[in-house]
């Protein structure tokens, strides 16, 4: 059975979605850079190994990432999942686990990389917003895309309302992407994600859709 390590920094709602999905693999550890991350309580309830590598205990980012990478590696993971892990990983970390790290980002990449994505989407007046699961590379929020989910941006939306609608989709597509990886239904070729041709998808998402 393939082994999964999840990294979190906060409440861990996407981590919880991964647990609840009953993936075809074993979540062997949850690691956090934040010793008081609320998500750690849920992970402990699942009987999963917990590790805390507090970034504040290290002199610089390289030292932290070295310690983090060694801890992750001790669990011999087939897949490393960033589920709300709020640290930018160094090149050395990313290369050590290249092709095995998935991240969820709250925008339709390559639009709105970085932070404050929902407010930026509102400020730009986009009709569709959403989330993206991608492989992590040394380019921040620009790794090969596995799957995206789009939601309409409604006239009455504020940042909180839009974020909640996107988060619901995050909880759907992140476990799906992890399942595809674990079932060997996706591969990386020439910097692109190739998806098993037997998977079926909707033809289009349109917003506004013109219906009364």
Domains of the chain: 3-194 (3.40.50.170)
Q: Which of 55, 105, 129, 134 is catalytic?
A: 105
Tell which residue, 84, 197, 195, has the closest CA to residue 147.
Answer: 195
Reading the block at residue 5, the tokens are 């390590």
55 is catalytic: no
Cα–Cα dist 185/53, whole Å: 32
Instruction: Please list the pLDDT of the chain residue by residue as tens digits (212 residues).
Output: 999 999 999 999 999 999 999 999 999 999 999 999 999 999 999 999 999 999 999 999 999 999 999 999 999 999 999 999 999 999 999 999 999 999 999 999 999 999 999 999 999 999 999 999 999 999 989 999 999 999 999 999 999 999 999 999 999 999 999 999 999 999 999 999 999 988 888 777 777 765 54
Q: What is the pLDDT of residue 212?
A: 43
CB-based contact 141:105 (threshold 8 Å)? yes
Q: Is the overall model pTM greater than 0.75, yes or no?
A: yes
The total of other beta-carbon atoms located within 10 Å of residue 64's CB is: 21
Say what the pLDDT of residue 209 is.
63
Interatomic CA distance for residues 51 and 144, integer angstroms: 28
């Amino acid at each position: 059975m393939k082994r999964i390590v999840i990294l979190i920094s906060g409440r861990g709602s996407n981590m919880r979605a991964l647990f609840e999905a009953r993936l075809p693999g074993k979540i062997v550890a949850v690691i956090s850079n934040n010793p008081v991350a609320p998500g750690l309580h849920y992970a402990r309830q699942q009987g999963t190994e917990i590790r805390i590598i507090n970034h504040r205990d290290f002199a610089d980012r390289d030292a932290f990432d070295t310690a983090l990478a060694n801890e992750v590696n001790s669990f011999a993971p087939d897949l490393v999942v960033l589920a709300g892990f709020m640290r930018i990983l160094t090149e050395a970390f990313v290369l050590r686990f290249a092709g095995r790290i998935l991240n969820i980002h709250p925008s339709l990449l390559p639009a709105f990389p970085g932070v404050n994505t929902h407010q930026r989407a509102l400020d730009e007046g986009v009709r569709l917003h959403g989330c993206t699961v991608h492989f992590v590379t040394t380019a921040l929020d620009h790794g090969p895309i596995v799957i995206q989910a789009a939601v309409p941006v409604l006239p009455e939306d504020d940042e909180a309302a839009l974020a909640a609608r996107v988060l619901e989709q995050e909880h759907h597509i992140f476990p799906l992407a992890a399942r595809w990886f674990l079932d060997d239904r996706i591969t990386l070729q020439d910097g692109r994600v190739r998806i098993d041709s037997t998977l079926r998808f909707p033809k289009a998402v349109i917003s506004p859709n013109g219906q009364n």
